[in-house]
Amino acid sequence: MTKLNDRHIAILANAANRTDGCVLPLPEGIQVKGGALTAMLRALERRGLVERSADDAWTITEAGRAAVPGAAATEAGESEDENAAPQVATADSNADDGDSAPKPLFRPGTRQAQLLDLLQRDEGADIDEMVQFIGWQPHSVRAVLTGFRKRGIEVTRSKEGNGVSVYRATLPASTDAMAD
């Protein structure tokens, strides 16, 4: 089954908690109007999570009830615990696993990871070397360096004896163990 975003889960949970299973009106705090609302309802319909009746009433299906975390498909569409707040998807799929392993800064093998490895060498790298290594334009390389800084990576620039700027990168203390 495809993943649902926070808005979809909240809408389905709200409908699952209603005795009639109606999707509309939307729960408080969710404002979707016009074409965006129609598009979202049709997307949920294509997934088989809601259905549209002849009188344009949108209701949740049994598959929709099953897709809502914490809500069981029961008689009259009531969840097992009506006072429970709907669970929402998080960006970190392991958020509740108790696994506190930090996420790596970049996926291994990506160009950004390769560029970071290049900058972590003792001799560092100049813009021309990075452009040749990665195959990007100089302005793109500089933009990635700015992105590194925003992620907490210390990027330093120093002028060498020949007047060429050499860049070096140092990972923040919390991610040094990940880089090994």
Kindly indicate the confidence band of residue 94, based on its pLDDT and cuts at 50, 70 and 90.
Answer: very low
pLDDT of residue 139: 94
Residue recorded with tokens 């696993």:
97
H helix or E strand, kind and range, residue 50: strand 50-52
Reported pTM = 0.42
Question: How are beta strands 165-170 and 154-159 bridged, if at all?
Answer: antiparallel
**Which pLDDT band holds residue 177 (cuts at 50, 70, 90)?**
very low
Give per-residue pLDDT as tens, 125-152: 999 999 998 889 999 999 999 999 988 8
Q: Which residue has the tokens 């970049």?
A: 106
Q: What is the mean pLDDT of the chain?
A: 76
Whole-number Å distance between alpha carbons of 6 and 106: 25
List beta partners, residue 166.
Answer: 126, 158
Q: Which pLDDT does position 126 carry in this prediction?
A: 92
Predicted local distance difference test score (pLDDT) of residue 99: 53
Average pLDDT over residues 78-99: 43
DSSP label at residue 93 = T
Burial 118-155 (b: 16+ CB within 10 A, else e): bbeeeebbebebbbeebebeeeebeebbeebeeeebeb
